[in-house]
Amino acid sequence: MIRAQRPSPTSLLFCSLSEARLLRQRCIVRRSYPLSGITRIAAAKMGGSADVLTSPPAQAVIGDPESLAKKKAAIRELGPAKLQVIADFDGTLTRYWIDGCRGQTSHGLLQQSDPVYDAKRQALYEYYHPLEYSPTIPIDEKTKLMEEWWDKTHSLLIEGGLTYNDIQKSVSNANIAFRDGVVELFEFLEEKGVPVLVFSAGLADIIEEVFRQKLHRSFKNIKIVSNRMVFDNGRLVAFKGKTIHVLNKNEHALDMAAPVHEQLGEGNGSNGDNMSVKKRTNVLLLGDHTGDLGMSDGLNYENRIAIGFLNNNVEESLKTYSEAFDVVFTNDGSMHGVLQLVSQLCSDT
């Protein structure tokens, strides 16, 4: 599937500090409404029939109700023991709008105080970002270029003296929040023993700090699949393992997974169950971009229900999203609709 030509959230990690501050200052006035309760209404026409669930102004659009019903029945038959959840982080687990302002991404909130390294990261962004979306570069060559970009940027973070204290301050000052219903969803999945893999081409340590500061609790079933830092006396000195970038953010990177609760002070987790996760062949995938559908590419799944969060440009993109995803939540809706679906998938009746 062709990815839409828009700046990837991951690219915000590599923008300059001045650019990040400018993004924070551009607060667009927008009224937000919680998606509380979902009511089925008549089908809508979008180049074909679609079943719509609505609680104004957010909607949950089902492009092919019959296909979704078959997938739900197949997943429910095998039960929670065969189910896993794969979720993007920014704009999926987190809100797109916060109090009328565009929420920050975990990638864009990082602040470094050294303007020299800020300028160097900006130079890398200006060079590599157009290459990421070039339609003429073969995928193998583009993959190497993305690896170069990420590796060089990681090196600059080390050379610039990034500290864990910088990360903590950045998250504390950031305009970032989880969607309503995320905690309830995580609690339900933990109770049912369903693992959650949170995929990101950004930095695991930032995501974990967002969990720590914004949720104030841990979940033993959640793993972060992202680039992980190594600190010595609070200072960044290296990165662990293979680099995860925008073109390999899938279950091929599962070896990079680490339970988030270990990072939150509960050291009773283990990475030894990665193979058992791969044997869970029913998948609920959550993303906010059609490119996120590739997160399950490394898994030989039997059934997959893909949930898409269409946060912006709804009229222009709804048809594309409704064809790509089984269910599309529009207008920055809550996670309550996903919780409702998961409850059905894990039901015995």
Asked if residue 233 is part of any domain, the answer here is: yes
Asked if residue 33 is part of any domain, the answer here is: no
Asked if residue 130 is part of any domain, the answer here is: no
Mean pLDDT of 267-278: 53
Q: Are 306 and 285 in contact (CB under 8 A)?
A: yes
What pLDDT, on the 0 to 100 scale, is given for residue 233? 95
Higher per-residue pLDDT: 69 or 12: 69
* Distance (Å, whole) CA 311 – CA 183: 20
349 pLDDT band, cuts 50/70/90, is low
Q: Is the pLDDT of residue 300 over 70?
A: yes
Q: Please name which of 313, 80, 105, 284 lies closest in space to residue 203, comparing C-alpha atoms.
A: 105
Which CATH number do you get for residue 313?
3.40.50.1000
Q: Please name which of 138, 109, 43, 58 lies closest in space to residue 309, comparing C-alpha atoms.
A: 58
CA 199 to chain centre: 6
Question: For residue range 181-235, what is the model confidence (pLDDT) as tens digits?
Answer: 999 999 999 999 999 999 988 899 999 999 999 998 889 999 998 999 999 999 9
298 pLDDT band, cuts 50/70/90, is confident
Distances (CA, A) of 224 to 64, 99, 345, 347: 31, 27, 23, 27
Output the pTM of the full model.
0.76
Q: Are 78 and 282 in contact (CB under 8 A)?
A: yes
Which of 65-69, 123-127, 182-186 comes out lowest in average pLDDT?
A: 123-127
Higher per-residue pLDDT: 267 or 113: 113
Residues carrying an active site annotation: 88, 90
* Distance (Å, whole) CA 215 – CA 69: 33
What pLDDT, on the 0 to 100 scale, is given for residue 116? 86
What pLDDT, on the 0 to 100 scale, is given for residue 179? 95
272 pLDDT band, cuts 50/70/90, is very low
What pLDDT, on the 0 to 100 scale, is given for residue 251? 58
Q: Please name which of 166, 174, 131 lies closest in space to residue 152, comparing C-alpha atoms.
A: 131
Q: Is the pLDDT of residue 29 over 50?
A: no
High-pLDDT (> 70) share of the chain, %: 75
Question: Total structural domains in the chain?
Answer: 1
253 pLDDT band, cuts 50/70/90, is low
Q: Which of 73-87, 115-129, 254-268 has the highest mean pLDDT?
A: 73-87
CA 220 to chain centre: 18
Asked if residue 5 is part of any domain, the answer here is: no
- Strand duo 303-310 + 282-287: pairing: parallel
Asked if residue 167 is part of any domain, the answer here is: no
* Distance (Å, whole) CA 261 – CA 264: 5
What pLDDT, on the 0 to 100 scale, is given for residue 185? 97
Asked if residue 93 is part of any domain, the answer here is: yes
Which of 32-36, 274-278, 296-300, 327-331 comes out lowest in average pLDDT?
A: 32-36
Higher per-residue pLDDT: 302 or 6: 302
Higher per-residue pLDDT: 321 or 31: 321
Q: Is the pLDDT of residue 262 over 70?
A: no
> Can you read off the two tokens belonging to residue 19?
């650019």
Distances (CA, A) of 246 to 14, 139, 147, 171, 255: 13, 12, 9, 22, 17
Asked if residue 160 is part of any domain, the answer here is: no
Question: For residue range 276-291, what is the model confidence (pLDDT) as tens digits?
Answer: 677 899 999 999 988 8
Average pLDDT over the chain reads: 79
Asked if residue 35 is part of any domain, the answer here is: no
What pLDDT, on the 0 to 100 scale, is given for residue 18? 38
Q: How many CA atoms lie within 13 A of 309 on its CB side?
A: 25
Mean pLDDT of 107-114: 73
338 pLDDT band, cuts 50/70/90, is very high
Q: Which domain holds residue 229?
A: 59-100+177-264+277-346
Higher per-residue pLDDT: 155 or 34: 155
Q: Are 78 and 59 in contact (CB under 8 A)?
A: no
What pLDDT, on the 0 to 100 scale, is given for residue 47? 38
Q: Which of 5-14, 26-35, 40-49 has the highest mean pLDDT?
A: 5-14
